[in-house]
Structures are given as structure tokens and as C-alpha cells.
Amino acid sequence: MIEVKNVEKKYGKKRVLKGLSFTAEKGEITCLIGINGVGKTTIMKAIMALTPINSGEILIDGEKIRKESFEKITFIPDTITMLPQMKICEAFAFMADFYKNWDSKRADELLQFFKLDSTERIANLSKGNMAKVNMILGLALNVDYLLMDEPFSGIDIFSREQIAEVFTSHLIEDRGVIITTHEISDIEHLIDRAVLIDNGEVLKEFSVEEVREKEGKSVVDVMREVYRG
Amino acid sequence: MKHYLKLLNFEVNRFFKLYLTLIGLIIVSQFIGAIVVSKGYMNGVDQVMYKNQLSMSQYTEEYGLFSFNQFVGSGWFLLPIFFSIAILMIYVFFIWYRDWFGKNTFIYRLLMLPTERITIYFSKLTTIMLLVLGLVALQIVLISIEMQIVNSIIPTDLQSHFSFNDDYSLERLYPNTLTEFILIYGVGLIFVAVLFTAILIERSYGLQGIFIAIVYGMLSSGVFIAPLLVNRFLNGYFYSLEVFLLELVMSVIVLVSAIWIANHLLKYKIRV
């Protein structure tokens, strides 16, 4: 379980996260929803110790992040995290070199699934294909938790469909996933929990299925209630 | 340790193309220079000897001998070295900033490796030192080749004996004793480590960080030269050995604090 407890974060005098708390369970897809600039990316960076927090605590399976944690949790930011001059196969070799949990077989499977050529240079890839490679860099790690920042933003409809397909596959099952989006419609049917964020605070945290069954509401319905008052 | 070596290899490879270009530039410029300077000298000698009907020994009596320093002091020899030093100085900064800037934010990957983050710092530091020492070693080999080139053009009767100690800048680059060597390159290492830490301060605190980084840099330099200053202030109160030992202690303090601060920043304060 990932626990984000009372996290505060300031950029200068501006408070970006105001005592924000939520949890994300293993085996569930948790979606952080909010318009741009409410601090979704900052939360993910904070979980990965890529940006400091001013107060609060973040625990991964009850522990603070340490170097070993990076074999257990990974982050797929919205830009690719490899050198542009690398070929895809070189990027994979780099991953295999440093991570015990890198699954080369799965990386190749995903490459085939996305119909990508491993000798292609990252710099020459289209935006959609770059997003797919970036996704593979995270998915081929045998980690318990995956954080994905806006995996669907700015890419074409077919790439979106392919990526969405990955979400319903065995590649995601059993893992804990935190995903951010400002457009819920693409992935509403995929997610288990929704965390509505505005202005650095959690407005509401709920199980999508429960709300659907008990109240007959979709995520968008709840969002309307919460954001429009 | 394994990750350190892998990262080191990776970092060296990232600079390697440019490094080979630098090496190529040095070789071409210095070899051409050795030929141009020697030929130029010989032309001058021939003309003077012909005009004044001098023999070789009469010429050397009057005009002196050719010294290898004339080549070492020329732009052909020095400019590519200065250029390489400038490039490496820029790379001290670029080795970090290239990971933050540009479309592909590689720093995410580096910071998410399952290894102590200070390993990144050490690998980059070692990379810079290896690049510098590589060029220094290359220059030794080149100088001996260049001497052959000069010898093949200028008869040895016309040349004075040359040793590294004759040239001030070469003597700095290639000190006589191992201790001096360690001292000179040790100071270089500390300098780069302090710059690295200053860069990380800027990367952690942004605009404010620039100010803190400058203060940190000045403090480190201050601590570093304190023994020399104090000794001068006291009109040479300490023996040179004492100054040396004090300097050694200060160096260790500056280096260890640079690493300690860098470690802390990378762990808790760094921003991507």
C-alpha cells in the first residue's frame, strides 16, 4: 500500500499541496483526477523522492522510500526518461543493466504488441510511439507499484486504445497503479478508485464500483457534484 | 560498486565522441605545428647562413640554439590545450545540466536507479577526472612524437637539450614527484567536487540556490586557502611542513563536506 499522509509542499510562498492524504492499494488502479496545475504530478514526484516535501509522510508498504524501493515502485512520467540518441534496444539494455527486476522477455513482448522496432532511435519516434516505449520502460519492471503521469495525453486515438488495452491485461493485474489524468473519460472503465483533487487538497476519495452500484453514479457524475458544488 | 562502474562507463561513453574530436584536434594541430615551427626555423637558419656565409657552428654561436620550448610556447601547441581545458570546464556543468534540460529528462531515470544517489555524483566526478588525466597522458605521448618530428627536420646540432622542467606550464602539468602530482590533481578534484555540489545546490533550491551556491563556493575556497592566508598574516609563523599538513586537513574538510552536502541534497532536496 502507498500511503500519502498530510503532505504539504510549497513552491516559494505558494502552497501546492495542502496537507494532502490518500492511499493506493496493491491490485487496484487508483486515479488522481483534477485539472492541470492542482499538484498531481507533484504528488507522484514526491512519492518517488524526486521533489522534497515540506511536511507529512509518504510510505510504501509501511516504509519510507530507499534505494531498494526502486525495484518495487516505478514512475512513468509524461516525457521519456532515456537519452534521445539511444536505440530502443540500448535503452532496454540500460534497464537490464541496473534493475534486477527488469523482465527482458516481457519488454520484447510489449515491443511486439506495440509493433515497435527495437533498432529505432528514440529521437526518431513519433510522440505516440515514444509514449509506448516510455510505458514499456515501466511495465517491463517487475514492480509492485506503477505511477503513471497522464499516459494518454497528447497521443493519437489508436495509441490510446493500445495503452488502454495494456491496462486490462495481466501486465497490470496484481499491481498497484496510480495514474493521473485530467480527462477521465478515456479510462473511467479501467479504474478502481478515484481521488478527486483540487487546489492541493483531496476533495473526495471513493471506490468507483461502490459508487456505481450503490448510488448509480459514474465518476463524471461525482466529479460534477464535487467540483460544481 | 557494480552500479558505480556501470554508471562511470556510461558517463564516459556519453562524452566519448566529443573527446575523440578533441584528441583529433590536439594531434592534428600539434603535429602540423611541430612541422611548421621546425620548417620555419630551418628556413630562417638557411637564409641567415646563406646571406652571411656562416657555417652551422658560427650560426649557433651568434644566434643560439633551437629549443623545443619555441614549439611548446607556440599557438599550435597551446591553443588546442586551452580549447580542451575550456571544453572540459564547460562539461563540468553540462555533465549535470544535460540530464535536466532537453526533451528527455534523463535525470528521472538516474534518480530512480536502485542505487545510492551519491553514486551518480561519484561517477560524474570520476568521469571528469578520467577525461582530464586521459588528455594529460596523451600529451606526454604526443610530446615524445613531436620531438621526433622536430628532430627529423632540425639537426640535433642546432637544438638545445629539452626537459619538462624548462617549461613552467609543462612543469605544472607534469610534476617531478608523485606527491606533487597527487597534490596538483587532488586540488583539481576538490575544485570539481565543490563545483558539482554548488550545481546541486542550484538544482535543489532554484534561483535562491544560485546565491547559496556562490556563498558555499566562497566558503569552501576560504577554508581551503585559510592556512596560507593565516601563515602570510603571521609573517610565516608556521614551518612549511606545518602549512602543508594544515592544508591537507583543510582539503579533506572541504572535500568531505562537498560529498556530504551532495549526498544530503540528492537524497532529500533534489528537484526534477
Going by C-alpha positions, the residue among A24, A43, A13, A68 that lies closest to residue A194 is A24
Q: What is the pLDDT of residues A28-77, one digit of tens each?
A: 999 999 887 788 999 999 999 999 999 999 999 999 999 999 999 999 99
Q: What percent of chain A has pLDDT over 90?
A: 71
Q: Are B186 and B123 in contact (CB under 8 A)?
A: no
- Alpha-carbon distance of B57 to B61, in angstroms, equals 6
Domain edges within chain B: 175-272
Q: Residue A103 belongs to a domain with what CATH number?
A: 3.40.50.300
Please report where in the chains the cell 530507499 appears, as a residue: A66
Q: Which of A97, A127, A130, A148 to mutate to test the interface with B (most CBs of B within 10 A)?
A: A97
- pLDDT tier, A174 (very low <50, low <70, confident <90, very high otherwise): confident
- The interface residues of chain A toward chain B in range 130-189, judged by CB-CB distance below 8 A, are none
Put simply, the answer to whether B114 touches A100 (Cβ < 8 Å) is: yes
First CA to last CA distance, chain A = 31
Put simply, the answer to whether A99 touches B14 (Cβ < 8 Å) is: no
Which residues in chain B have their CB less than 8 angstroms from residue A50's CB? 108, 111-112, 270-272
- The interface residues of chain A toward chain B in range 36-65, judged by CB-CB distance below 8 A, are 45, 48-52
Specify the 3-state DSSP secondary structure of A26. Answer: coil
Q: Check CB contact of B116 with chain A, cutoff 8 Å.
A: yes
Q: What is the largest CA-CA distance in chain B?
A: 79
**Residue stretches of chain B with pLDDT short of 50:** none
Q: What is the pLDDT of residues A95-127, one digit of tens each?
A: 999 999 999 999 999 999 999 999 999 999 998
Q: What is the pLDDT of residues A181-221, one digit of tens each?
A: 877 877 888 899 999 999 899 999 999 999 999 999 999 99
At residue B185, what are phi and psi to the nearest 5 degrees?
-75, -25
- pLDDT tier, A146 (very low <50, low <70, confident <90, very high otherwise): very high
Could you tell me the three cell numbers for B50?
A: 646563406
Nearest to B108 among A52, A68, A77 (CB): A77
Please report where in the chains the cell 608523485 appears, as a residue: B178
Q: Are B73 and B34 in contact (CB under 8 A)?
A: no
- Alpha-carbon distance of A121 to A118, in angstroms, equals 8
pLDDT at position B104 = 67
The parent domain of residue A138 ranges over: 2-228
How distant is the Cα of B83 from the closest Cα of chain A, in angstroms? Answer: 26
Complete DSSP assignment for A98-148: H-TTB-HHHHHHHHHHTT--TTSBGGGS-HHHHHHHHHHHHHTB--SEEEE
Q: What is the pLDDT of residues B239-250, one digit of tens each?
A: 888 888 999 999
Question: How many residues are present in chain A?
Answer: 229
Q: Check CB contact of A74 with chain B, cutoff 8 Å.
A: yes
Find the residue in B nearest to A45 (Cα). B272
- A76's enclosing H/E stretch is strand A73-76
Total domains in chain A come to: 1
Q: Check CB contact of B267 with chain A, cutoff 8 Å.
A: yes
